[in-house]
Structure 1
Amino acid sequence: MRFGLSFLPDCSPKTRAPADYYEDVLALSRLADQAGLDYVKMTEHYLHPYGGYCPSPLTFLAAVAAQTARIRLMTGCVLPVFHHPVQLASHISMVDAISNGRVEVGFARAYLPYEFSTFQVPMDGSRARFEATVNAVDRLLTEEHVDEATEFFAFQDATVLPRPVQQPRPPFWIAAVQTPASFVRIGEMGHGLLITPSGTSFNPALVELYRESFRRHHPHEQPRVAASLPVLVADTDQEARRIADPYLGRYLEVWSSALAKWESTVSTDYANYTGIGHSISAMTAKDMRIFGSAVVGSPAQVIDRIGRFQEQAHADVLLLQTDFGGLGGTDAQRSLDAFVSSVMPALNGQPDGPDPADGREPALAQGSPTP
């Protein structure tokens, strides 16, 4: 199993200054690189404390690339319906060059009504726009002199520069939430699957639908599943809950606020989304911990919880959401240090602590200053 960090900023100038937020997440990214984690992932959103601090994941990942040596850089996700494919493919290739081939591209359909309204992109038809844009980006990264003519965009003889370092192109991932057809379609397309278990239940049958579809259409390749979860590790379960619960409560409050427009929004491309804010607004931090949509506790508790999740999901990559509710500073760094030193080795069947022979530094040395 591979591990990484997943960032989705859910703060505003009233709760955290932008410079402070980025100082923390860049410090965590450096620590993750030093500790041997495999990924840093950042999400794109606009206009709201729910993700609004990162309108450009690729810009953030370029900064991470400049401060790290080996960790891979994942968009999680970019929202292609709000971008022209030539622009998006060009930016992907640029960061792939800056990082010397460390970029992996996660795409998501977007689902917040106010974003569609602001960009004047209709929600109805967005599924087709999404797939057309992803397919065009794929062609632009793997081909030269590309022609495209769709109802959403058209261009001729396009060769994006720079060309990607990774050949034939950086790996693609696509996010899915609850629609079975989406999981099947991602398998058909042959891309990796991104999931963020939330609410009070996780349906492993949806992930299996993806795997079955992938194997059927791409028998000589392997499906890949990456899961993002809020995670906090402390010395004891009580201490972990004391730290995490206020931030989980803020995370739910911000997320619920972002979903408010779904009270009056109906879209044929988003079946069963109307009213989805009710379930999130009714949840508590305790609910997230009990139902496994957040993993909080001592190392032993976190190992057990992740083990139970893996019995159902069999994820290839686990991405720790360490910035939930605006959490940062010493608490976030200590949590990452505890995960690296006490949780990750156990999940991988290794002795506690880093192997001196591998040349890696622990996530936090004793007495390390807090950025």
Structure 2
Amino acid sequence: MKIGVTFFPTVGLQDKAASQYYDECLALAVLADELGYHHIKTVEHYFFTYGGYSPDPVTFLAAVAARTTRIRIGTSAVIPAFTHPIKLAGKLAMLDNLSHGRLDVAFGRAFLPDEFEAFGVPMDESRERFDEGVEACKALWESENVRFEGRFHSFGPVTLLPRTVQRPHPPVYVTSARSLDSCKAAGSLGHRLQLVPGILSLEQMQEALRVYRAAWADAGRDPSDAEVHLGYPCYIADDAEEAYRIGRYDDERNGAAISAAVSSWGRVSSSSYPGYEKLADTRLRAGFDQKLAKNKILAGTPETVAQQLATVANRFGDNLVVSLNLHSGHLSQQESERTLRLMAEQVVPSLPGARSAV
């Protein structure tokens, strides 16, 4: 098991200035590098407190790369539907060079109607734009004199500069919310997989992993390379009630942020996103205690969080990359630092086979 950090802001101007949030996250990234964590990742979102302080992951990750030496940096995720593939592939290739080959690239489809509307992109095209964007970026990284003919973008022959440090390209992750077809496609194409435990049942998670790993093996690939990324909110303190207190508060604020961001699903539907209209119904959203009971949130003392991670490993198998969402901006930098240190110094050493380098 490898362990890293994802920054997913859910704050806005009424909470704290963006510059303060970035400063706090950069300080935490430096500490994570010093403690030996595996990665730092951040998201791409717009307009809302739900991720809106991170419209360009590459900009933030370039700042992380300049301040760190060992830790991997990653997108979680960039959205091909909103950026021309030449621009996107070029920015990411530049970041791979600035980090001296420490980049992981996760691509996502996006799911917020207001973002698609602002970019003038029909939601029903999201799957095709995603597939075409990933294909085009990989072609630009892998080859020279690339000629590309797609439904949405055609170009070439062109040779992208700079070339990526990692050859043929940085590791590629794709995110799947609920689609087993997406999991199968990721395995067949040799992409690593990102799943969101918070929105899937245990049975759905296990079936998604079974489909993905079977497709990976059927394609003749080494099973040990089939990494799966799982993200969890995380709150650790020596006193369990303190961890639950800050976790409950952060979860409530995060819930308010996502409720505002997904409210437009109450007036929108898309054949490409079956069932997503339910996101607008806040009555269906689980609370902190329900998530904790189902192991969808990591919280408590170092001992209890170690037990939770052991359960994650037992349920979901090998080659897991666990990413801790520990600083949405509502907690203090010191509280997030405490979680980072306790995870590195007390939790990870007690895990059998943990390979976070902590």
TM (normalized to structure 2)? Answer: 0.94
* Aligned mates of 2:53, 2:74 — CA distance in 1: 17
- Cα 1:160–1:200 shift into 2, 3 Å: closer
C-alpha contact 1:199 1:288 (8 A) present in aligned 2: no
Aligned to 1:38: 38
Which aligned pairs between 1:342-357 and structure 2 lie closer than 5 A? 342-348=346-352
C-alpha displacement of 1:349: 5.2
Aligned to 2:334: 330
C-alpha contact 2:77 2:108 (8 A) present in aligned 1: yes
C-alpha contact 2:42 2:76 (8 A) present in aligned 1: yes
Aligned to 1:247: 250
C-alpha displacement of 1:259: 1.1
* Aligned mates of 2:200, 2:79 — CA distance in 1: 26
C-alpha contact 2:176 2:195 (8 A) present in aligned 1: yes
C-alpha displacement of 1:220: 3.9
Letter matched to residue 206 of structure 1: A
Aligned to 2:108: 108
Aligned to 2:294: 291
Aligned to 2:80: 80
Deviations 1:278-332 (A, max 9, x none): 2676322222212222111001110111211222222521111111363341100
Select the residue among 301, 305, 313 that pairs with 1:302.
Answer: 305
C-alpha contact 1:146 1:157 (8 A) present in aligned 2: yes
Letter matched to residue 244 of structure 1: G
- Cα 1:130–1:275 shift into 2, 3 Å: same
Identify the range of structure 1 (16-25 vs 111-120) with the bigger mean alpha-carbon deviation: 16-25
C-alpha contact 1:255 1:280 (8 A) present in aligned 2: no
* Aligned mates of 1:266, 1:316 — CA distance in 2: 34
Q: CA RMSD in A?
A: 1.8
Aligned to 2:12: 12
Aligned to 1:207: 209
C-alpha contact 1:259 1:277 (8 A) present in aligned 2: yes
Letter matched to residue 31 of structure 2: L
Aligned to 1:321: 325
Aligned to 1:226: 229
C-alpha contact 1:200 1:287 (8 A) present in aligned 2: no
1:28 aligns with 2:28: yes
C-alpha displacement of 1:253: 1.2
TM (normalized to structure 1)? Answer: 0.91
Name structure 1 gaps, 5 residues minimum: 361-371
Count of residues in correspondence between the two structures: 353
C-alpha contact 1:199 1:280 (8 A) present in aligned 2: no
Aligned to 2:70: 70
* Aligned mates of 2:307, 2:92 — CA distance in 1: 37
* Aligned mates of 1:163, 1:75 — CA distance in 2: 18
C-alpha displacement of 1:218: 3.4
Letter matched to residue 107 of structure 1: F
- Match of 1:198, SS state, is helix
Letter matched to residue 267 of structure 1: S
Select the residue among 331, 344, 356 that pairs with 1:340.
Answer: 344
* Aligned mates of 2:77, 2:253 — CA distance in 1: 22
- Match of 1:52, SS state, is coil
Letter matched to residue 317 of structure 1: V
- Match of 2:124, SS state, is coil
Aligned to 1:198: 198
C-alpha contact 2:247 2:299 (8 A) present in aligned 1: yes
* Aligned mates of 1:149, 1:172 — CA distance in 2: 22
Aligned to 1:53: 53
Identify the range of structure 1 (47-56 vs 203-212) with the bigger mean alpha-carbon deviation: 203-212
* Aligned mates of 1:254, 1:219 — CA distance in 2: 40
Deviations 1:102-158 (A, max 9, x none): 111000111111000000001112101110110000000011111111120111111
Identify the range of structure 1 (330-339 vs 202-211) with the bigger mean alpha-carbon deviation: 202-211
1:171 aligns with 2:174: no
- Match of 2:230, SS state, is strand
* Aligned mates of 1:220, 1:329 — CA distance in 2: 40
Task: Report sequence identity in percent.
Answer: 34
1:217 aligns with 2:219: yes
C-alpha displacement of 1:258: 1.1
* Aligned mates of 1:225, 1:285 — CA distance in 2: 24
- Cα 1:159–1:294 shift into 2, 3 Å: same
C-alpha displacement of 1:223: 1.1
Aligned to 1:160: 160
Select the residue among 251, 254, 274 that pairs with 1:271.
Answer: 274
Deviations 1:336-361 (A, max 9, x none): 111111101111458xxx9xxx9x8x
* Aligned mates of 1:199, 1:143 — CA distance in 2: 38
